A and B are shown apart, each in its own frame.
Chain A
Amino acid sequence: MDWMTILGTVAGIMMLVFLWPAYKHWSQNSPKAEQGDWASVLVALGAVVLLVIVLIALVR
């Protein structure tokens, strides 16, 4: 196992340890989505996916 793998694993585990309290907080305290909220997120993320596809086509 090389140093990059060891350090990468350490960094990943550290990230998980510190993401957990934020996940717990937001999963308990997030407001409920209103009608149309998820649809608006999907529109935005769909546009991001389309852009990435265009960028891939540009570099191929």
Chain B
Amino acid sequence: MNRYETVVSGGYQSAASANKVLKNTYLLLSATLFFSAVMAAVSIALQVPSIAYIISVIGAMVMGIFVLPRTANSSKGIGVIFLITGLLGFGLGPILSMYLSLPNGPQTIATAFGGTGIIFLGLSGYALTSKRDFSFMGGFLFAGMMVLVVGMIANLFLQMPLLSLVVAGGIILVMSGFILFDTSRILRGGETNYIMATYGLFLSLFNIFISLLQILGIFGSDE
């Protein structure tokens, strides 16, 4: 009986702790998305050059790899996550400016934004309600991501529109897989740090938005 009670109580505590991590993750994700959007608006207003995008991505990547894991267990981590997401939002400015100057640009941006929101809400809801453990996809997702990065590097030199379309489509699928993977890890106690969880989900959303924008931009243009 005691053993049973301990198991039930342990399960309840871990479920409560996972729910707390999930709640904090969604709160921080909302705040960072808002901050990122504000920084994108600032970047559009300042008309920063397009090289700012790649510099911001490299800066955010360096901070995400070297600084965030060391600060994520302290209050400094909150500042670092806002710095990273703000930097990514600032880098998005030149891309959004370019789309805004196109004939159907504002509609394309709004569609990509709405599509990203639907994908995130749908997949998160699916991971939360199905209660499946999606961590079996880990190796597959990271391998897929590496193949896509190789494709991205190759296309910097090849400049093939079809390859960029394939890579953008692949990124949407792999990042969708990461949303299922990350959400199920939070639910099952595999990720207990809400700052790191927010970082993972933010990157998935950011990459889905950029790739969707690229695909809709290609199909929406008259050329």
Contacts and interface: CB of A to CB of B under 8 A. Distances in A.
Interface of A: 3-5, 7-16, 18-20, 22-23, 25-34, 37, 40-41, 44-45, 47-49, 51-52, 55-56, 58-60
B176 A45 contact: yes
A36 to B, nearest CB: 8
Contacts of B111: 55, 58-59
Interface string B45-61: 00000110011011001
Q: How large is the interface on B (under 10, 10 to 19, 20 to 34, 35 or more residues)?
A: 35 or more
A59 B122 contact: no
Interface of B: 50-51, 54-55, 57-58, 61-62, 65, 104, 107-108, 111-112, 115, 118-119, 122-123, 126, 130, 132-139, 141-143, 145-146, 149-150, 152-153, 156-157, 169, 172-173, 176-177, 180, 212, 215-216, 219-220
B115 to A, nearest CB: 5
Contacts of A56: 215-216, 219-220
A32 B126 CA distance: 20
B58 A44 contact: no
B54 A19 contact: no
